Structures are given as structure tokens and as C-alpha cells.
Structure 1
Amino acid sequence: MAADNATRQKIIDAMYHLIAEYGYDKASLSKLCDAVGITKPSIYYYFQSKEDILLAVHDAMHIPTESDDGLCATTDAVSYRAQLIALGQRSIASFHDDVERHRVMAEIDLQSTRIPALAAHRASVAQKTSRSYQNVLAHGVKLGALPADLDVETASQFLYVIMAGMSQTVANKDHLDETAIWNWLVNALLLP
């Protein structure tokens, strides 16, 4: 079982790197087999299709973090605010640190216009991420760290859009100060 999971993860990791280097269309199963050191029939033991591997790559890129657990465990408004700002800053730093991720995300964006299952999957990930933000913001309201009348559902969607946009500005090399934008956003819009 552990070997099966390890091989499955090797396939996902190799496809991630191939997509970053060649794009999805040119990341052939033959190249994938060579990269992992397995045969094509072996790939079909783990995945039904190349599209299924792409969905698994997308899943792996959006593994839920424990950051929201840390924020939801805070017991005072000051710690909550500091952790909320730090969470955004860590996310932004990760956008700058991973050029390969930008290439894969750009390819996923493109392929989601062609592959309905990927478009649906992206929408599902967006909803899960927004719900995670909603839990974090609701806890902040409960602590008094955020305004009592904050519409947490809309604010969580807003945070998702902002983070997605900042990821894109980094990928586009727009030379904006995303960290300053995040800090301003938290202080100006979310704090009481």
C-alpha cells in the first residue's frame, strides 16, 4: 500500500514538472513513464487517464494548510490580527518563490477552458478555499478582532479573489508590492 502511494505520488510529481517544462499537451505519457521509470500500463493502474493525472496535480497544489487551524486556535484579538497578516505574507512569499508553480497554474487555467472536469474541479477548490477563509474570519469576529457586522461570506470570497489576483500579478511580474497591499487590506478593510 505504501509503495502504491509512493508510486502514485511520483507520477503526480513528475507530471507537475513536465507540465511546467512542456505544457500539458506536450507532457506526454511516454515522457511521464520515462521520468517515473514505469510502463504506460502501470500509469493506468493508478490513473484512468492523463486528465485524471492533471486533476491529481491540481489537488496536490491545493492541499489544505493548517494555517487556518492556527488562526482558529488563537484566543485573543492581537494574536489573531498578527497571525492573519503573517498568513497573507507567507502566501505572497510562496508566490514569489515558486516560478514552476506559476507555469503549472497558467497551464491549468488554459486547460480548464478545454477540460470541463478541470473547470469544475477548479470551482470546487475555490469554494473550499473560500469556506476555509470564512471559518478563519468568523473566528476573528468572535474574538472581536474583526468588525462584528463583517459579512464573513462575502469577505472570504473577497480574500480568495485578492489572493488569486496577487498570485497572478506575481506570475505576470507586474512589480507591485503585494505584501504592502495585503497589510493595507487587513488593516483598512477587515479590522474594526
Structure 2
Amino acid sequence: MGNKEQTFQKIIEIAYVMFAENGFEKTSLAMIATEVGISKPAIYYYFQSKDQLIAYIFDELYKEIQQDIAVDYKELTSANFKEKLLELGYKSIEAQGKDPYFNKIFNQYVLLAARDESYKSQLVELETSFLTSFVEVLQWGVRLGVLDDTPHIEAKAQMLALVYDNIGNFMLTGNQLNYRAIWKEAVHSVIQGGKDDK
């Protein structure tokens, strides 16, 4: 990796932390440049404005979230369906435990969306795909015969999505709850009668 690529990556990493900790309003490009160890004029080589940097990080987060909630249906069988659903939540809990800045910065984008229509529409799109992916997973479970085809299947999927999302919000506040057990209970409430899981 060349010096320009390394500097670019360092700008992203430092901006990510500073935006998460201080917010967009209280973080300037000059502050980021100082932390990176470059001059303020030098940072403009990489980003023409703070807004451009904010947008770049958002795009990266957007892609990461979509990747995290993507499920390869070919991997799901009647034998492993429950285990894979548990893994989805456990993976998210572990990732958020390792990255204390994720929910902080994501909440900055939620605040930004309240006054910026383009961020609002992208967040609505992301939320919709997030909910849809859970609905599709449970509908696949119906096809596999793991779940009963009830009129409430969509509501069950949305409940799982809300639990999944809110675990991250609670982790952000520092509440020391047993998040794995909470996710397990949510999955068990949807898939009743299955064998006990790890």
C-alpha cells in the first residue's frame, strides 16, 4: 500500500472515531488533519469538504450493513436453520462489542437524516431492506418446513429485526445485559419446539 493509500485509510479511520466521539458538528477537517499528522491543506487532496468525507463514511457503513444482514439462502436447511439464525445475531453482537464507535456514528447519521432528505431516504431504504431480509429468511423457513405459515410470519420477522437492532442501541449505552441470551430467546419465540442451542 502506497503512502497516499495509507494516508487516505488513516483519514477514514481517524474521522470515523472523531465523528463518533464528538459528532459531525464539533469535528473539523483541521482537527482530523492534525490527528492524521498532515496539514489542513493536504487533507483537501483527499476530500474537498467535510460533507464529502461524511458521505464517504456513510457509503462504506451502508455497504457494510447490507453485507452483514445478507443471508445466503442456499446455506439454509431445515437442520441448520435455527443455528444460522442464532449466528446472525451472535455475529452482530460480537462485531459491535469489538467496535464501540459503530452505533455512535450511526446515530450521528440518524440525526443528520432529520434535516437532510438524501440521508433520510437512504436510511429508510436501508431500514426497509433490513426488515425485508428478516421477512425473507422466515419465509424461507416456512418453505423448509421449519416454521408454520401463519399470517403473523411478517410480524415475527419484524420483531426479530427490532430485537437485533435494539441490542446495538443498548450496547451503545453500556448496559451489561446478556445479549446472546436475549437474541436466543427472540429466536426461540419464533421457532418453537426446537432443540436447545448453545
Count of equivalent residues: 186
Distance 2:151 2:82 in 1: 15
Provide the rounded CA distance (Å) in 2 between the counterparts of 1:7 and 1:128.
Answer: 33
* Matching residue of 1:16: 16
TM-score, normalised by the number of residues in structure 1: 0.78
Whether the aligned pair in 2 keeps the contact of 1:68 and 1:132 (CA below 8 Å) is yes
After superposition, the Cα gap between the structure-2 partners of 1:36 and 1:105, relative to the gap in structure 1 and judged at 3 Å, is farther
Structure having the higher helix fraction is 1
Amino acid paired to 2:47: I
Moved more, 174-183 or 13-22: 13-22
Partner of 1:146: 147
The one-letter code matched in structure 2 to 1:132 is S
Matched, 1:126 2:127: yes
Bigger CA drift: 11-20 or 117-126? 11-20
> In the TM superposition, what whole-angstrom CA distance separates every residue of 1:40-75 from its partner, at most 9, and x where no partner exists?
25412xxxx5334323323322322266434x1235
- The reply to whether residue 57 of structure 1 matches residue 74 of structure 2 is no
- Using the alignment, how far apart are the partners of 2:122 and 2:13 within structure 1? 19
Question: Counterpart amino acid of 1:69?
Answer: V
Q: Distance in 1 between matches of 2:69 and 2:111?
A: 29
8 Å CA contact 1:14, 1:36 repeated in 2 = no
In the alignment, structure 2 segments of 5+ residues that lack a partner are 194-198
Percent of counterpart pairs with the same letter?
Answer: 21
Are the aligned partners of 1:68 and 1:133 in contact in 2 as well (CA < 8 Å)? Answer: no
Are residues 8 and 118 of structure 1, via their aligned partners in 2, closer, same or farther at CA, if it must alter by over 3 Å?
farther
Partners of 1:89 and 1:179 within 8 A in 2: yes
Corresponding residue number in structure 2 for 1:43:
47
Once residues 20 and 69 of structure 2 are traced to their aligned partners in structure 1, the CA distance between those partners, rounded to angstroms, is 27
Q: Give the CA deviation at 1:93.
A: 2.0
